[in-house]
Amino acid sequence: MKLFTALLAAGFAVMAAPASANIFADNGCVGCHDADKKKMGPTWKEIAAKRAGDKAAIVASLKDGSKGNYGKIPMPPQPKAVANADALAAAILATK
């Protein structure tokens, strides 16, 4: 029974890890963003450096979109991500 409990706990730990790592995929961000690789949008690290701890600015950019802060291409508002905006902002800031 002890072994079973240990296996169960390990299983949950394994399941929990990808769930948080995939928050960007789940919210449709990875087509334009990556941690290190510049795509259409800036890298998460670039954003984390610029917004250093400013979660509110990140949350606002998801609600309203963003333009002119990193380059010429604007980001449209991300209405589906607004419900998760806090967790997304924390995950972006954690990439630094």
**Size of site (CB under 6 A) for ligand HEC:** 29
From residue 72, alpha-carbon distances to 28, 29, 40 in Å are 21, 18, 10
Residues 16-55 as x/- pattern, contact with ligand HEC by CB under 6 A: -----------xxx-xxx------xxx----x--xx----
Residue 77 interacts with ligand HEC (CB under 6 A)? Answer: no
Rounded least distance, CB 27 to ligand HEC, Å: 4
Strands (E), the chain: none
Q: Which residue has the tokens 């610029």?
A: 50
